[in-house]
Amino acid sequence: MTDKKRPVIIKKGSNTEAPKDTIRLNKYIANAGVCSRREADTLISDGKIKVNKEIIRELGFQVKNTDKVYFQGKLLSRETLSYILLNKPKDFITTMDDPHGRKTVMDLIKHAGKERIYPVGRLDRNTTGLLLFTNDGELAKKLSHPSYEIKKIYQVDLDKPITQADIEKIQAGVTLEDGLAIVDEVAILSKDKTILGLEIHIGRNRIVRRIFEHLGYEVIRLDRAMFGSLTKKDLPRGKWRRLEEKEVIMLKKFNQSKSPKPKGK
């Protein structure tokens, strides 16, 4: 009788204790920039993740420093999480690359480090202001998901003075082609009533511009001054900086205090 190697079978609960030099498999996958932890759990359950070339289906599996993790045949790295805040200027598009050769936001942060980071949400070409980049898949998904209601404050410059009647319409909610657009707060910032401050939580495409276009105004300038708990303080236009640890903690705590709203409510 030959002593053949038998395939390794991972039993539920066999790897649940976590030594100091290990990391939970779903977190390892999220840190590698593949997806969020919740999505990583689905990949694991579906048998799409291998550790040392063995398929692992156990959600609580702990990865050691010496382990090699594979997804779709590609070796994943335990990448250092990176959080970059950019004060975006005009004429840069929010995409990883552009086939037409236009300038992208990635050109502005190309010296930010070796980690492959991605923009959280987007600002259109002519919109300026705060844009966050990270390889933290779990946090990025929460910050982008409308159910978590991430606060965004914009300065809006209009082509003509806004009327009190239109201010009241905005406060009541404007019905657009894709549904009701709710604005949390709107304030007039200039004597001539052409510059406004707008606080909003929804993140639909070009939502601020479309609100004012619907009411007959042209947005001359649009600048995002606040994103979640982050502000533009001491960050010049076109420059970037790394988030401080306390800022990352604030963003994550905010997300822990929120949960997606049930559909239909």
Q: How far apart are CA 169 and CA 163, in angstroms?
A: 10
Encoded tokens for 12: 């539920």
Q: Known catalytic residue: 159? A: no
DSSP state, 146? G
Q: How far apart are CA 151 and CA 228, in angstroms?
A: 5
Q: How far apart are CA 149 and CA 142, in angstroms?
A: 9
DSSP per position, 163-217: PHHHHHHHHH-EEETTEEE--SEEEE-STTS-EEEEEE----TTHHHHHHHHTT-
Let me know: does 213 contact 222? Beta carbons within 8 Å: no
The answer for residues whose C-beta is within 8 angstroms of residue 173's C-beta and 6 or more apart is 180, 181, 182, 183
DSSP state, 104? B
What is each CA distance from 18 to 11, 24, 41, 45, in whole angstroms? 16, 8, 17, 20
Sign for the CA dihedral angle at 111, 203, 201, 91 comes to positive
Which residue in this structure is represented by tokens 């070009």?
Answer: 206
Catalytic position from the list 91, 97, 124, 178: 124
DSSP state, 128? E
The residues annotated with a catalytic role in the active site are 124
